[in-house]
C-alpha cells in the first residue's frame, strides 16, 4: 500500500477517535448534570453569592450551564484567554496563578471548597488575568458569560452579594500591599499561614489547626512576596520555635498566638 493510500486512512481514524472522545465527554457531562443536579444546587445555595436567592432561581441557573470533569494536570483556562464562561468549583482542587511581566509565577489561590470563580473577567469584559489548573481530579460547573449576566439582572440579591465579594477582593489586595510595606517577610509568612486556615482573620484558628491544602515553599513564597529560599529558612525557624510542625505534606499551626504576634495582629 502506497503512502498516498495510507494517509487518508490515518486521517479517518483520527476523526473517529476524536468523535468517540467528544461523545464520551458529552455522556459524562450529561450524566453528572442529571444525576447530581440537586447536590450541585445545594452547594451553590451555600455560597455567599446565592445564599439569599430562592431555590427555583438556582435550579434555573444550574440548568443553564453544564458540569465538566477535569483530570489532574488539565488547564481550565489560561491567562490571556477570552473570558467566555463563569465557573463554579465543585469537587477536587484547583490552583489559580498568574505570570508577572518579569516571568515569575504568582500563586493567587487554591480552590478546595465549592465557590464561583472566573466571574471578574466576564463582568469587566476582559481577558483572563490568571490561569486555572486542576491539581487533582476535579469537577466544575460552567455557564456562558451572557447567561450569567442575564441571571444577575433578574436577581438583585445575587448582584449585591457579588459586589460585596469583589469589594473584599479589592480589600485583600490593598492589605497585601500594606503587608509588603509594613511587615517583614517573617511577619508575612506568619500571617499567610493563619490566612490559609482562617481567610478573614476575624476568628483566629485554634492551636493544632491543619492547613487545608498542600502548600509548597514556592507557593508560600509567592503568597508572601519573598524568595523560596528565604521562606524555607523562616519555616525552619518556626519549626525550631514550635510555632508550626510538619505532618506529612501539610503544616500544622502549633502556636497560633505566637504566629499572631509575628503577624502584628
Average pLDDT over residues 229-236: 94
CATH code matching the domain that covers 183-262, chosen among 3.30.565.10, 3.40.462.40, 1.10.10.10, 1.10.3300.10: 1.10.10.10
Most distant CA pair in the chain, distance: 78
46: phi then psi, degrees, rounded to nearest 5: -85, -5
Least confident of 130-139, 170-179, 247-256: 170-179
Alpha carbon 118 to chain centroid, angstroms: 9
Choice between 180 and 135, residue whose per-residue pLDDT is larger: 135
17: phi then psi, degrees, rounded to nearest 5: -65, -40
In the 8-state DSSP scheme, what is residue 35? Answer: H
Q: What are the start and end residues of each CATH 1.10.10.10 domain in the chain?
A: 183-262
pLDDT of residue 90: 95
pLDDT of residue 201: 77
pTM exceeds 0.85 for this model: no
Q: Which three cell numbers stand for residue 127?
A: 481577558
Query: How many beta carbons lie within 10 A of that of residue 219, not counting itself?
Result: 21
Choice between 265 and 199, residue whose per-residue pLDDT is larger: 265
User: Residue 242 — very low, low, confident or very high, per pLDDT cuts 50/70/90?
Assistant: very high
Q: What percent of the chain has pLDDT over 70?
A: 86
Q: What are the start and end residues of each CATH 2.60.120.10 domain in the chain?
A: 7-167
Rounded to the nearest integer, the mean pLDDT of the chain is 86
pLDDT of residue 249: 80
pLDDT of residue 109: 86
CATH number assigned to the domain covering 7-167? 2.60.120.10
Amino acid at each position: 500500500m502506497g503512502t498516498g493510500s495510507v494517509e487518508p486512512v490515518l486521517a479517518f481514524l483520527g476523526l473517529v477517535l476524536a468523535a468517540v472522545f467528544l461523545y464520551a465527554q458529552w455522556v459524562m457531562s450529561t450524566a453528572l448534570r442529571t444525576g447530581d443536579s440537586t447536590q450541585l444546587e445545594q452547594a451553590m445555595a451555600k455560597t455567599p453569592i446565592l445564599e439569599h436567592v430562592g431555590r427555583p432561581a438556582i435550579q434555573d441557573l444550574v440548568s443553564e450551564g453544564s458540569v465538566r470533569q477535569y483530570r489532574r494536570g488539565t488547564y481550565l483556562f489560561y491567562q490571556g484567554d477570552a473570558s467566555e464562561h463563569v465557573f463554579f468549583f465543585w469537587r477536587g482542587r484547583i490552583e489559580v496563578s498568574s505570570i508577572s511581566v518579569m516571568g515569575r509565577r504568582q500563586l493567587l489561590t487554591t480552590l478546595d471548597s465549592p465557590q464561583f470563580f472566573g466571574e471578574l473577567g466576564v463582568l469587566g469584559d476582559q481577558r483572563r488575568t490568571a490561569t486555572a489548573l486542576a491539581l487533582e481530579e476535579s469537577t466544575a460547573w460552567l455557564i456562558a458569560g451572557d447567561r450569567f449576566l442575564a441571571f444577575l439582572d433578574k436577581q438583585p440579591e445575587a448582584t449585591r452579594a457579588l459586589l460585596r465579594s469583589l469589594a473584599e477582593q479589592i480589600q485583600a489586595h490593598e492589605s497585601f500591599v500594606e503587608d509588603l510595606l509594613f511587615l517583614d517577610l517573617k511577619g508575612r509568612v506568619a500571617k499567610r499561614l493563619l490566612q490559609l486556615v482562617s481567610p478573614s482573620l476575624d476568628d483566629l484558628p485554634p492551636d493544632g489547626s491543619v492547613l487545608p491544602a498542600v502548600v509548597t515553599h514556592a507557593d508560600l513564597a509567592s503568597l508572601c512576596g519573598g524568595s523560596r529560599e528565604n521562606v524555607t529558612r523562616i519555616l525552619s525557624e518556626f519549626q525550631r520555635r514550635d510555632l508550626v510542625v510538619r505532618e506529612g505534606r501539610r503544616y500544622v499551626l502549633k502556636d497560633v498566638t505566637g504566629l499572631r504576634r509575628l503577624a502584628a495582629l
